[in-house]
Amino acid sequence: MDGHSSQNCLDRFLGLRLGNVSFQNYIGEGGYGEVWKVRWKGKVAAGKQLRGFLFDTNERALERFLVEYNILRRLSHPNIIKMFGLEIVEGHPPIMIMELMHQDLDTYVHDSRTEPKVQLKDAIGILLGVAKGLNYLHTLSLPLRPVIHRDLSSKNILLDKMKFAKITDLGQAKISSDRFLEEATPKPGFWPYLAPETYSLHDYDNARASWKATYGSEVDIFSFGVVALEVVIGRRPRPEERINPRGMCYKNHLDHLASNENLFASPSKRKFV
């Protein structure tokens, strides 16, 4: 779809009402859905709607969308995005209704014109908030169980106008009963933030392999470290020459990780204290 067609498609949503949801402004998109500023039951909120073509053709995408909803609706923490509800209208993709934030951390860092891009006081506040949110997810107890986010990145950290941070987008999240997730999906998130153990050994020789990997909540702490570095240096920490036109070359990335033995230190050494 070209840019003109995409805009026409988006324009058709403006002012549209589905059930209790009235679409107002387009905010952005993720892997599974598009995010809008909406009005829902009298309040302004964010509406995340599953992409139409995935709703029609991809049962797995719908399952992940509903898993995210079912996880978020049970959580309650100041540093986790608040879920208000799920709007279902027959014949249309479902819409998750969440609290509306100002911007994501990636945009804030990228658009900042200060030096450093994130002032020390703000950096400490943002990172402390994210750490508290992750610790909450990882230490949930009955009747809930610990949650591993698996896709933590600066795009999945939202800020309000006071730069208060909240973790969002749990579409890749897993509920865990043990310290490790046996036979979990390898490379579940965005590659600059992926811990080494999320790569199966087979990936080293075959970038398209879909073998399983074994890892636990420590992968989120690795991702948190990358986010922290991004906040400090003011850009996403990745070697640009390792990007090719078709995307990430996983073997090069793994080679790069392997060249630093400290990155392969026991994941159990990664913890919040």
The catalytic site residues sit at 151
Q: Which residue has the tokens 């920490």?
A: 237
DSSP type of residue 80: B
Count other C-beta atoms under 10 Å from residue 260's C-beta.
10
Residue 202: exposure state from Cβ atoms within 10 A (0-12, 13-18, ≥19): middle
What is the amino acid identity at position 178?
D
The tokens for 198 are: 């999320």
Count other C-beta atoms under 10 Å from residue 146's C-beta.
18
Residue 8: exposure state from Cβ atoms within 10 A (0-12, 13-18, ≥19): exposed
